Structures are given as C-alpha cells and as structure tokens.
Structure 1
C-alpha cells in the first residue's frame, strides 16, 4: 500500500473546491469570470497555468493568494481555509507562506536592487541581518543583476522583473505564485529565471504555480491546466 502523507505534507496541500468568481459588467449584468470545480495540489507540485490573455490566469493566482475572495467555493492550504479568513489574517498568512511574482513588479523606486529583494524581511524586523543581506546579494547575482546597489527607478523592465522574482524567493516561501515571470525577459534570461524558480521550489519542497504564455517555462512544470474563458481544462 502507498505510504500515508506526512503531517507536514498534508499541512501544505492546496485544495480549491467549487471556486467561482462573478463580476458585474457596465450594464450591471453578472457574469462568471472564473470557474474551477476542483484543483488539488500536493506539496512540491509545479503547476503551469496557460491560456489566452483575459482568460483568468492572474485572477486564479490572486484568489489563491487571498488577494481576492471567491463568490463561491473554498480555498484551503492544509487546515487553513484562506478564502474564509478576515483581511488581517490573510495578510499574516501571506507573510508566513507566500512568495508572489506580480506582473507589475511593485518595486520601491528609491530602494536599490538588494533592498528591494530583501523587502519581505522588513515586515518582521526593523533591521536586516547580515545573513539576510548576504542572501539578497546572492539572489541578485543568481538572476544576473551585477550591480545590487542600483536604484530600482533606473532599471530596465527586464531587470525589474528579475528583482521581483528574486524578492519572491527571498524568504524561501512554501508557496510560490508567479504571474508571467518571463514576459519581459530575453530568451537567455527567461531560461535562467525559469530554472531558478523550479530549483528554488525543489530545494525547499515548495509548491510552485506559474501562469504563463511561455512554452519553455510551462514545459518545466510537472502538471498543467489550461483556462478558456475562465473555465479550467
């Protein structure tokens, strides 16, 4: 018989049940923006989410992150029902478990590369430790950013994207969500950060979910779903 999952593994299982998200259009008519009946990811799964622009890929990631709440259904991370938590507790859950690569990056222009990468540490400490600084510098080097002291305001869009990816990995999160993480990168850098995302997840046993149009990134995933007009296939 197969071995039962460990308590730690069960505590990091992601389960979406009967998820629906409704919106109103300009005429006040309700339409279904996303419909995912069931999705179960064991810890350590690498999932690719594909589909045309506007199909709901980003919406799905925002629901999993607790940045949006579904109109119906539940999203659970282990024993925690993320979708039922009040806002403050969802914020706490994200700080403890999540690394998110946003399409819009959300960097602080006045901070340098290393400061932006280490930004998650500021939520739990006033001062960055020397080991934290070393990790930020190592991640900057790993994504090909040679000058960690350049301000984010003067970086190219591709450089900003690499900073955002490194920042998402800084605290070695248990769940990594990446929204089009290679969209602004040339082929070489896209391959490099794709490899980094997969390696980082494998090293810590994290669950990785990438929404992407990039076939090379999607090919690195162990599972894949396609979204069409908000419906999962």
Structure 2
C-alpha cells in the first residue's frame, strides 16, 4: 500500500525516572557521565538541554529514544517502560513516536532532498503515496529548499541540516528530539529553523526536546535542564 504520513501523533507523557548513564574513559576506567532526578514532560512540553561538549546531551537524547539503555533508572512513555523493551519493541516505538534530528544528519547522498525527507515512510511501505510526496515537497519549501530534486550529495552543510530537520517532522511525530539543530546555520537561518521546530511542535501538539549550545535557541524554551549541574564522577 502507498504510505502517507500519520495525520496526528500519538500523544504521550514522557517520564525519566532517576536516569543515569555510565561510560569508560580511555584507560577503561568507569565513570558516571550524568545523573538526572525524575523529570516528567506532558504532551506538548518543550525542554531545552544545555551544557558543554561531552557532558551527555546527545547521550540523553539517545536514552530517551531507546538507542541507548540507561545504567540506572527508566524511560517511560505513558505507562510503557520503553527502556526495558526488547530491541524490536524499541525500534517499533521509535518509528511510531519519534522524529530525531541527528547532529550528523544521516542523509543518503545518492537520494534527492524529497526522498531523504520522506525516508520515515520507507520503513513501513515500499511506495510513497501522493500525500507523502506533497508533504515532503512542502516541508522542503518551508525549510527554504526550493528544489526538492537536488541530490543530498550536492548540498551545503547548512542545507543538509535543514533536510534533516524536515525529515524529523515528516511523520508528524509525538516526540521530537533535536541534537544541535542550528549548529551549521548562520544566525538568520538558525532563527528560521528555531521558528519551524517550535511551530511544528505547537501545531501538532508534539513534545520537543532540544540539546543545544545556542543561547538564542535555548532562551525560547519554557523549561531547561543544564547538564553542567550533573557531576561526572567515577562509577561505583
């Protein structure tokens, strides 16, 4: 069957229960990257995550998405304990719930802009329907990418960033995770991308969590977490 984006996200409450993540240093010595007390985000909440490089901002997003398992604590979506699901269950939940703006984009260079934006639909069907094609083209235009048939390999880093953001919004996810979404953009384009992320989340009622070094973007979030406040120390 042709694939079309879901008309509405499946609203949910995200809860992080005493979350912690352990890593090992270059000498294979264990240390605790961060700890976080209980945090609950109702549907539609906006959370900005700040802190210096290496403090665990990306890791926190990966924990929320089920790409990493916590060393301690749990991640819940409504009553479902996502962090305890088997890999197939976490993959399915992520596909149905999350739009992820990765810091490294993860575009396919051989595909054009529209095809990269519509990649989420390819995981559930072999052919993209007309509604999906139009949504991909509309998102490209909204992101300031007027030629949706241009190959990703020919794009600047800033253009790739905008394609990655449009792809995360394609399926109208209930939970949007953005890892440094304005890092490759100048001030004017960064403000435009921030507008799109916040507007898209508000329009669909999605929860938005954004890890960023950008103080202008961070200031636009009504809730903020500074991971600098979580002390890195050796794990017991």
Is 2:57–2:227's contact at 8 Å kept on the other side of the alignment? yes
Matches of 1:11 and 1:135, distance apart in 2: 21
Structure 1 residue 231 displacement after superposition: 4.7
Match of 1:31, SS state, is strand
- Residue equivalent to 2:193: 193
Match of 1:139, SS state, is helix
Is 1:11–1:77's contact at 8 Å kept on the other side of the alignment? no
Structure 1 residue 80 displacement after superposition: 1.1
Q: Name the stretch that deviates more: 17-26 or 44-53.
A: 17-26
Q: Name the stretch that deviates more: 157-166 or 46-55.
A: 46-55
Structure 1 residue 101 displacement after superposition: 0.1
Give structure 1 regions of 4+ aligned residues with deviation exceeding 4 angstroms.
229-232
Matches of 1:121 and 1:52, distance apart in 2: 35
- Residue equivalent to 1:131: 131
Is 1:56–1:229's contact at 8 Å kept on the other side of the alignment? no
Is 2:110–2:152's contact at 8 Å kept on the other side of the alignment? yes
Matches of 2:25 and 2:124, distance apart in 1: 40
Structure 1 residue 47 displacement after superposition: 0.5
- Residue equivalent to 1:157: 157
Structure 1 residue 198 displacement after superposition: 0.5
Residues 51-70 of structure 1, C-alpha deviations (whole Å, 9 max, x = no match): 11111110100000000000
Matches of 1:27 and 1:176, distance apart in 2: 35
Matches of 1:159 and 1:230, distance apart in 2: 34
Matched, 1:68 2:35: no
Matches of 1:176 and 1:86, distance apart in 2: 22
Structure 1 residue 27 displacement after superposition: 2.6
TM-score, with length taken from structure 2: 0.91
- Residue equivalent to 1:30: 30
- Residue equivalent to 1:5: none
Structure 1 residue 11 displacement after superposition: 6.2
Written as runs of structure 1 = structure 2, the 5 A alignment for 1:82-121 is: 82-121=82-121
- Residue equivalent to 1:45: 45
Match of 2:114, SS state, is helix
Matches of 2:229 and 2:48, distance apart in 1: 17
Residues 134-191 of structure 1, C-alpha deviations (whole Å, 9 max, x = no match): 0000000001011111100110000000000000000000000000000001111111
Q: Which runs of 5+ in 1 are unaligned?
A: 1-9
Residues 63-118 of structure 1, C-alpha deviations (whole Å, 9 max, x = no match): 00000000111010101111101111100001100000000000011100000000
Match of 2:146, SS state, is coil
Higher relative contact order, chain-length normalized (CA < 8 Å, sep 6+): 2
Is 1:51–1:228's contact at 8 Å kept on the other side of the alignment? yes
- Residue equivalent to 1:7: none
